[in-house]
Amino acid sequence: MKSNRRQVLGWMAAGAVACPTCLSLGVSHAAETGHDAVHWDYKGEGAPERWGSLESRFRVCDLGLEQSPIDLQRSLRAEVGAVRPFFRPTRLRVLNNGHTVQVNADEGSYSDIVGQRYDLLQFHFHHPSEHLLDGESFPLEIHFVHRSAAGQLAVLGVFFRQGAANDELAKVFDAMPSQETPERDAGMQVDPLGMLPAARGYLRYMGSLTTPPCSQGVLWTVFREPLEASSSQIQQFSEIFPLNARPIQPLNTRFLLENS
């Protein structure tokens, strides 16, 4: 484990690339290695304002100037290129990592972001939304986590507002373990395209993972059009995760771009 940890620190020093182990385990490397005395959380001793001091490799959570999430407001219209998700139905391999429910994607789904291929690794949920849209919070936000062959991370974010039930969300939430559990195969397929809006208007900025180690260099795309989830679906998730959203972070000197 020692060399593994050195490798993680190396990745952190590289800045732009997060530890793949953390990603595959839902950014829970600390739990795997047992290195942290106080585990990070959304409240109490491990609350977000303390993440940066829990472990040395989490310091960028406090010190980083390009952190996520942010309030998506006062965007600049720009030619930022197309985002084309090429998602396929995937086996519903679902886990509860103690911070969220996550579906690990089968190989083959990817997104073309400004001509670069990013493979879909997994998707997971936050309640309430982590990003705000012009100051507005939503009851749910889904994150589709991707990685390029070069190791660059890209996340597609989608908001859900309260309305009609979403069929693909129903599959995930019905299979969602209420306790922390490793991945299990629910024995069916889920189509991630059913959790993407038809309209492709989006906001783009450079940010970070929203969970420790808060690694920067993440290419963010958040779609402007929210999808709908029913009140009982929102409640189904919030009963297990009453709050799993990091507070918004300062934009600092970054640009927030919107496709025109």
Which of 122, 259 has the CB closer to Zn ion? 122
Distance CA 23, CA 95 (A): 13
Q: How many residues bind Zn ion (CB under 5 A)?
A: 1
Q: Mask of contacts with Zn ion, 114-143, x by CB under 5 A?
A: -----------------------------x
Task: Say which amino acid occupies 202.
Answer: Y
Q: What's the closest the beta carbon of residue 126 comes to Zn ion, in angstroms? A: 5
Give yes or no for residue 246 binding Zn ion (CB under 5 A).
no
Residue 16, token pair as written in the block? 């732009």
Q: Which uninterrupted H or E stretch holds 49?
A: none
Give yes or no for residue 29 binding Zn ion (CB under 5 A).
no
Give yes or no for residue 147 binding Zn ion (CB under 5 A).
no
DSSP, res 22 = H
Q: What's the closest the beta carbon of residue 211 comes to Zn ion, in angstroms? A: 7
Q: Contact 236/173 with Cβ under 8 angstroms?
A: yes
Q: What's the closest the beta carbon of residue 149 comes to Zn ion, in angstroms? A: 22
Distance CA 258, CA 65 (A): 21
Q: What pairing do the DSSP bridges indicate for beta strands 83-86 and 153-162? A: unpaired
Which of 29, 143 has the CB closer to Zn ion? 143
The DSSP bridge partners found for residue 201 are none
Q: What's the closest the beta carbon of residue 102 comes to Zn ion, in angstroms? A: 9
Q: What residue ranges bind Zn ion (CB under 5 A)? A: 143
